[in-house]
Amino acid sequence: MSDHVKLIYDGKTYELPVITGSEGEKGIDISALRQTTGLITLDPGFANTGSCVSTITFMNGEKGILRYRGIPVEQLAEYSIFTETTYLLINGVLPTRKQLNQFSILLNDNSLIHEDMQSFFQSFPRASHPMGILSSMVTALRSFYPEIKITEEEINLMVTRLLSKIRTLAAMSYKISRGHKVVYPRPDLSYCANFLNMMFDNPVKPYQIDEDQVRALNIFWILHADHEQNCSTSTVRMVGSGRVNLYAAISAGIAALWGPLHGGANQAVIEMLTKIKEEDSGNVAKSVERAKDKNDPFRLMGFGHRVYKTYDPRAKIMKKTCDGVLEKLKISDPLLDIAKELEEVALKDNYFIDHNLYPNIDFYSGIVLRALGIPTNMFTVMFAIGRLPGWIAQWKESVDDPNWRLSRPRQIYAGPAPIDYVPIEDRI
Ligand code: SDX
């Protein structure tokens, strides 16, 4: 197969190199396009444009494949824990038992946040959205932990600090939003158990660690841990390319994830299912018809994906986790039944079939979070905690890339021709 393409323009023929990835994906390298042809490319939404070469995550949207550092996400969800998958994504290999124990100790050692940060939480209006609080507090971490010099050791400490503190910040914002006493992290609990304890322990009813819930949370966060160059990860890389500190780049990623077309969809799915239950008496047909109506801005939240043109492999595992965790906790959630019926009706409908619209990770994830007792407005925060290892791994890869440059896309200008300034007294 050819290792170049020919571009014929204005009577001239140009050859552009084609690079091939380790899974056979091919891309035209246009890094010299403008200087050799005077042309740029245009690709709103970047559906056809690669921003980097990466060794972290592989997705095949047609076949529904997702692998972290070569390992299928199905195997990690089955056999791994979130801290181990975090280590894998950031360091490129699975840790030995000794390395995992050391990593867990480091996470525990860095789980507290500076007491002065608690007053920040008090200053937010009570109804503030937890994603806005989290993004602000992650940026604020830089003020409390300024890196002295950029060494490998300093970066690793910053990474571990962030991985551990994001969990504490999220639980703290929840407790303070309810006017409850903050619960501190405990060194004797695992990463996921610690989070659940910080969220739900209280003096009146001490939280009982439930291993089924802890397992469900590990799977939830493993499934969210990375997803190659999605909107928020590309934002982290873009912001990081200016050589800003990690906290600021991650804070930008949290803001990008917040949108309902991206990570905010998990909250939007539950709001949609609740609306179907309460306003349409659980009848899904109306929502399916609305989603197909081009005059109606309504979309079936949790359906469709820029890359997956088949079932999102994560959604399959999340759906199975829903059944498992609800059964073990002896909870029946009417929204799960509605979600399953909605999926069944949509997947038989030609509109969804023709548009390759299938459930994505957000379609069932909210049901798992409801079973864990997480409030709906914190669903995207849960996505952010899960995605943090991926953001960090991608940020590190871009910072370490000798070819990495400041991200600065071009544009095609379509504005007015040159005109002169008109003094205000001459304007009508
Ligand atoms: C995440 O990129 C990632 O990897 C993201 C993510 C990750 O892990 O980081 O996987 C997480 O963000 C998952 C997606 C969560 N978002 C939602 O569930 C919101 C609902 N879905 C969509 O709005 C939509 O499917 C997107 C935004 C996810 C993808 O949209 P695209 O690729 O830009 O496609 P499009 O909007 O151009 O739609 C193509 C066609 C259109 O119809 P036509 O005009 O071609 O006839 O499909 C239709 C759309 O109207 N369509 C939908 C639809 N999604 C697409 N129609 C109804 N309901 C939907 N959900």
pLDDT tens-place string over residues 331-375: 899 999 999 999 999 999 999 999 999 999 999 999 999 999 999
Report the chain's mean pLDDT, rounded to a whole number.
95
Q: How far is the CA of 261 from the centre of ligand 1 (A)?
A: 7
pLDDT tens by residue, 42-72: 999 999 999 999 999 999 999 999 999 999 9
Residue 59 near ligand 1, beta carbon < 6 Å: no
pTM tops 0.85: yes
Which residues are bridge partners to 66 per DSSP? 59
Mean pLDDT of 396-402: 94
* CB-facing half-sphere around the CA of 152: CA atoms within 13 A: 2
Q: Measured from the CA of 299, which atom of ligand 1 is nearest?
A: 58
Residue among 284, 306, 310 to mutate when testing ligand 1 (max atoms within 8 A of CB): 306
Compute φ and ψ for 359, nearest 5 degrees.
-60, 140
Say how far apart CA 180 and CA 378 lie, in whole Å.
Answer: 16
- Active-site residue 305, yes or no? yes
What is the model's pLDDT at position 404? 85
Is-contact 314 272, C-beta < 8 A?
Answer: no
What pLDDT was estimated at residue 65? 98
**Three-state SS letters, 116-169:** CHHHHHHHCCCCCCHHHHHHHHHHHHHHHCCCCCCCHHHHHHHHHHHHHHHHHH
Task: Specify the pLDDT at position 2.
Answer: 77
Q: How far is CA 356 from CA 24, 227, 265, 305, in A?
A: 23, 19, 18, 9
Residue 143: pLDDT above 80? yes
What pLDDT band is residue 417 in, cutting at 50, 70 and 90?
Answer: very high
Q: 3.40.50.300, 3.40.630.30, 3.40.50.10110, 2.20.28.60: which CATH number matches 4-50? A: 2.20.28.60
Q: Is 362 a catalytic residue?
A: yes
Residues of the chain with CATH 1.10.230.10: 265-371
CB neighbour class for 180 (10 Å; exposed up to 12, middle 13-18, buried from 19): middle
Residues with Cβ within 8 Å of 401's Cβ and at least 6 positions away in sequence, in order, are 52
The candidate with the shortest Cα–Cα distance to 160, out of 244, 99, 78, is 99
Domain with CATH 1.10.580.10 in the chain: 70-260+377-400
The catalytically annotated residue of 305, 333, 337, 354 is 305
The C-alpha torsion from 384 through 388 and 392 to 393, rounded to 10°, is -110
304 lines ligand 1 (CB under 6 A): yes
220-279 tens-digit pLDDT: 999 999 999 999 999 999 999 999 999 999 999 999 999 999 999 999 999 999 999 999
- On the question of pLDDT at 150 being above 80, the answer is no
**Residue % of the chain over a pLDDT of 90:** 94
Q: What is the pLDDT of residues 222-233, one digit of tens each?
A: 999 999 999 999
Instruction: Give the burial class of 183: count Cβ atoms within 10 A of its Cβ; 0-12 exposed, 13-18 middle, 19 or more buried.
Output: buried
Q: Which of 30, 33, 92, 82 is nearest to 57 (CA)?
A: 92
Q: Which one of the listed residues 201, 226, 312, 362 is annotated catalytic?
A: 362
pLDDT per position as a tens digit, 208-219: 999 999 999 999
Using alpha carbons only, give the angle 320, 321, 324 rounded to the nearest 5 degrees.
90
CATH 2.20.28.60 domain span(s) along the chain: 4-50
Tell me the pLDDT tens digit for each residue of 8-48: 999 999 999 999 999 999 999 999 999 999 999 999 999 99
Q: How far is CA 145 from CA 247, 250, 253, 417, in A?
A: 10, 15, 19, 49
Query: What mean pLDDT is predicted for residues 166-189?
Result: 95
Strand partners, 14: 7
Q: Which top CATH class is 265-371?
A: mainly alpha
CATH number of 70-260+377-400: 1.10.580.10
Q: Is 215 in the pocket of ligand 1 (CB under 6 A)?
A: no
Q: Answer yes or no: are the C-beta atoms of 220 and 369 closer than 8 Å.
A: yes
